[in-house]
């Protein structure tokens, strides 16, 4: 009876210790919160603005680095505080709203179209100390849908992730020759490894004969 009680007590102790350490790990590894505030816009329609904004929001969400706070949630909190400038798109407003909502990070920026040129500029700001952690800027000449690869790049850069060469090529920021050179280097590396392997086998065979 005493042995059974000691065993149960030991199991309970291990359970609570592991539970506590698990909670500490969860708190330590918790994703930071992020709200993407209104962007300043010029020369684009409301529909195009919504497409670009939603693309950026969804891409950052899919990367999975942050806990995303949706815009309607931001507005709900601001309404409780009787905040009268929810549409404000300046850096100062973004930080102020971020503090009211209680998020750790905010993103603010702009979508601009002028003539045949369009651009996106964005920065991720840490609300606690008003500092910029990541920033991104992209420009496209041509139809505005050509700005989409730059939005994808911005989502990665604002999440602290390096864009792939393929995406940079798609955005016109890198020539295809770079990708081709990487493939050539990889093939040469494989070829050299194969030659070295064959050479070692020949040496081993000669030594066996001796």
Q: What tens digit of pLDDT does each residue of 98-133 get?
A: 999 999 999 999 999 999 999 999 999 999 999 999
pLDDT at residue 187 in the model: 76
For the stretch 25-42, pLDDT in tens is 444 458 999 999 999 999
The owner of tokens 């816009």 is 41
Q: Where are the beta strands (DSSP E) in 70-175?
A: 105-114, 117-126, 131-141
pLDDT at residue 86 in the model: 83
pLDDT at residue 177 in the model: 66
pLDDT at residue 126 in the model: 98
What is the Rg, in whole angstroms, of the alpha carbon atoms belonging to the chain?
Answer: 27
pLDDT at residue 84 in the model: 86
pLDDT at residue 131 in the model: 97
pLDDT at residue 25 in the model: 44
Q: Give the pLDDT means over successive 10-residue stretches in the chain (210 positions).
A: 54 51 51 96 96 98 97 93 89 95 97 96 97 97 95 98 95 75 71 70 63
Sign of CA dihedral 159, 35, 107, 24: negative
What does the alpha-carbon distance between residue 101 and residue 177 come to, in Å, rounded to a whole number? 47
Which CATH code for domain 29-174?
3.40.50.10610
pLDDT at residue 152 in the model: 98
The owner of tokens 């930071």 is 32
Q: Report the candidate in 108, 90, 110 with the shortest Cα–Cα distance to residue 36.
A: 108
pLDDT at residue 148 in the model: 97
């Amino acid at each position: 009876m005493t042995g059974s009680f000691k065993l149960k007590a030991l199991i309970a102790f291990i359970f609570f210790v592991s539970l506590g350490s698990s909670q500490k790990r969860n708190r330590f590894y918790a994703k930071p919160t992020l709200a993407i505030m209104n962007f300043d816009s010029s020369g684009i329609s409301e529909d195009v603005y919504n497409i670009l904004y939603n693309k950026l929001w969804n891409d950052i969400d899919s990367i999975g680095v942050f806990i995303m706070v949706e815009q309607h949630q931001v507005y709900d909190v601001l309404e409780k505080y009787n905040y009268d400038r929810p549409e404000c798109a300046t850096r100062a407003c973004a930080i102020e709203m971020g503090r009211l909502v209680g998020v750790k990070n905010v993103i603010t920026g702009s979508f601009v179209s002028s003539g045949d040129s369009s651009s996106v500029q964005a920065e991720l700001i840490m609300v606690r100390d008003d500092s910029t952690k990541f920033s991104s800027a992209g420009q496209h000449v041509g139809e505005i849908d050509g700005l989409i690869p730059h939005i994808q790049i911005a989502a990665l850069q604002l999440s602290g992730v390096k864009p792939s060469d393929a995406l940079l090529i798609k955005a016109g920021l890198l020539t295809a020759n770079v990708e081709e050179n990487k493939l050539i280097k990889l093939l040469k590396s494989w070829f050299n490894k194969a030659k070295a392997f064959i050479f070692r086998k020949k040496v081993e065979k000669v030594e066996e004969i001796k």
